[in-house]
Amino acid sequence: MTNTLTTEILVEDRPWTDPEGAHLRCEQRAEIAIRYGTDDSEPGVKPTAADIAVFLVASVDGKPVGCGALRELHGEAAEAGDAEIKRMFVRSKSRGTGASVTVLRELEKRALALGWTRLVLETGTAQPDATRFYEREGYVTIPNFGHYKGNPDSVCYGKTLTHE
């Protein structure tokens, strides 16, 4: 007999300034700093409360385990209808629980509701777990866009969204 434990992942809209969300983003930046050996490895424009349209925090049993955000892209960095996934992160002890997929699917739903038809993102060469995740979830490599052009550590992905 197999005993399967099911955990409910709650995903909520939060303001960019939410303290729990800010703490998750700090954990992400610390992890990335270790991987790249620098405190500031982000080649693009850092997200802010002014440009983040959606910020989600995932919780299990009332404890935050992950987050993700959407930012609309404009100008030469984007095609019409593009939004960028920013600060997608799940705490290491919660990886493999479905939290990352749950946050990503909710970001995709929110993007469609806002009229965005493609999500793009940048990850890096020192994040093979992220590249595997996005590829498994249907994202394909695209040419580096915007501030990521010419950055040898950047790997960009995109996915055209459809209503199911």
Q: Tell me the backbone φ, ψ of residue 142, rounded to 5 degrees.
A: -130, 165
Say how many C-beta atoms besides its own lie within 10 A of residue 102's C-beta. Answer: 21
Residue with tokens 């709650």: 10
Q: Give the confidence band of 1 by pLDDT, cuts at 50, 70, 90.
A: very low
Question: Across all residues in the chain, what is the average pLDDT?
Answer: 90
- pTM beyond 0.75, yes or no: yes
pLDDT at 4: 46
Phi, psi of 35 (to 5 degrees): -65, -40
Cα R_g (the chain), whole angstroms: 16
The span from the CA of 79 to the CA of 31, in Å, is: 31
The full set of domains in the chain, from first to last, is 9-160 (3.40.630.30)
